[in-house]
Copies of this chain bind each other. A is one copy, B any other.
Amino acid sequence: MSIAESGMQSPTAHLFNPLFAQPEGSPIRELFPYLSRPGMLSLAGGYPSPSLFDAEGLQHAAQAALQQDAAASLQYGASEGQLPLRDALAALCATRGVQCTPADMLVTTGSQQAFDLLVKVLVAPGDPVLVEVPAYPATLQTLKLAQARIIAVPTDAQGLDTDALEALLSQWPHERRPKLLYTVPNFSNPGGTLLPAARREALVDLAHRHGFAIVEDDPYGELRFDQGCEPSLYATGQVRCGAAANPVVYLSSLSKTVAPALRIGWMLADAQLLRRCTIAKQTADLCTSPLAQLIAAHYLRSGRYAPRLAQACAEYAARMDALCSGLQSALGDQIRFVRPRGGMFVWAEWLPPQGRAGDALARALFTAAVEQGVLYVPGKAFFPADAAPGSGLCMRLSYAAPTVPQITEAVARLGRAWGQALS
């Protein structure tokens, strides 16, 4: 999926770093042109529902920031982040069972930047990095541009397969051990899985024993549909290894629970790693918008976060139910998926009649789906190039943005597309 170039020679083309000679854009963004087709229903995006944004509450917060903290809201700020926001985020972490202080925290421009900074500080070209697959595509892209050697760790219906990881590590050559492991333990993107507590303990123990860092990316943990809640890997690491030897770096974001446009993420890490990420941030963007930070701080203190989050959980649960029940009743044993207990995604795999070739059928299905007016993200977007056998018959479906009636209609279209592809 390399980006098409115009025929004209760029005056700078002879200067490109070889890594960017033929760059690949995000495979999800490649779907954007289809989105504008009339009547298209999309289960493709990973965007939160705009109907859940608290525009009024954020307007009050913006007013408060600019009236009460005008100087701090408009000036450069410390690269570490604004203290009122770090205080509020530490309090938010505590409600998740993640104990931390503002000193353990770096505010980042979305958690995307947090991962980018970590990779800058930790990964040199050729370093092995463990990634659960299927994985968030921007994670794969960041590692690819850092010239990391990506090692795929398999997952199942419960998330990262720690037995498979242990087997993999036991055979790994000792001279170049993996630097870090990336996982989304809570309602993963795209898998939608929730990692059980026993696997969390096993994973932390493996990191401790083999000397790699765990990057726990947790944007979705609060979007849960039942009381199902497991201790964070960060807290698990504190308990099992002691706070001073915790191998877990915790990342989170306000993008899925307040608004993506704030671009507020954060990282919890040990002091030396945090200091290095802060120095890397100085050259990346000096600091995250202090205005956005103070708007977020005022919003978190306003008391509107918890009720709005409860509303989002209820709405997403209803949409998830519409999608899963619809798939079940319309497609039955032609499709396999795990009903998520939170988050924004269903990862589904088509089960074709025996003898049907995977990749050709996958292409036919996508074409038919576009014809029928429904969009999803094909599975191969979530795998490193060399680790995607058969992934084409998987797909990521997001129920976050469409309404229940739209989801019902989208499922019907998916069913017709599947019939068309098989015929």
Contacts and interface: CB of A to CB of B under 8 A. Distances in A.
Interface of A: 3, 5-6, 8, 10-20, 23-26, 29, 47-48, 50, 53, 55, 58-59, 62-63, 66-67, 70-77, 79, 109-110, 112-113, 116, 120-124, 127, 138, 141-142, 145, 179-180, 211-213, 241, 244-247, 249, 255, 259-263, 269-273, 275-276, 278-280, 282-292, 295
B120 A20 contact: yes
12 contacts: A3-B279, A15-B212, A17-B124, A17-B127, A23-B276, A26-B279, A47-B75, A58-B74, A74-B260, A76-B261, A138-B282, A263-B288
A124 B275 CA distance: 25
Given A58-B74, A75-B47, A259-B291, A110 B270 contact: no
A180 B16 CA distance: 11
Contacts of A262: 74, 289, 291
Given A262-B291, A276-B16, A290-B261, A271 B62 contact: no
B109 A285 contact: yes
A273 B10 contact: yes
Contact of A213 (B5, B15, B73, B263): B15
A260 to B, nearest CB: 4
Copies of the protein in its oligomer? 2
A127 B20 CA distance: 15
Nearest to A66: B59
Given A23-B276, A26-B279, A138-B286, 4 more contacts: A15-B212, A50-B74, A55-B73, A112-B284
A7 to B, nearest CB: 11
Nearest to A79: B29
B74 A259 contact: yes
The binding surface of chain A is classed by DSSP as helix
B53 A70 contact: yes
Contacts of A13: 272
B47 A70 contact: no
Contacts of A25: 278-279, 282
Given A261-B74, A263-B285, A279-B20, A179 B15 contact: yes
Contact of A59 (B62, B244, B282): B62
Contact of A141 (B23, B24, B283): B283
Nearest to A137: B282
Interchain residue pairs A-B with the least CB separation, the first 4: A10-B272, A74-B259, A55-B70, A261-B290
B246 A11 contact: yes
Contact of A142 (B12, B59, B283): B283
Contact of A276 (B20, B71, B279): B20
Nearest to A124: B17
A141 B120 CA distance: 14
A18 B66 contact: no
B55 A66 contact: yes
B20 A280 contact: yes
A271 B74 contact: no
B263 A289 contact: yes
Contacts of A18: 124
A5 to B, nearest CB: 6
Contacts of A20: 120-122, 276, 279-280
A26 B287 CA distance: 13
A70 B276 CA distance: 36
B124 A15 contact: no
A291 B294 CA distance: 13
Contacts of A62: 59, 62-63, 66
A220 to B, nearest CB: 15
Contacts of A255: 76
A127 to B, nearest CB: 8
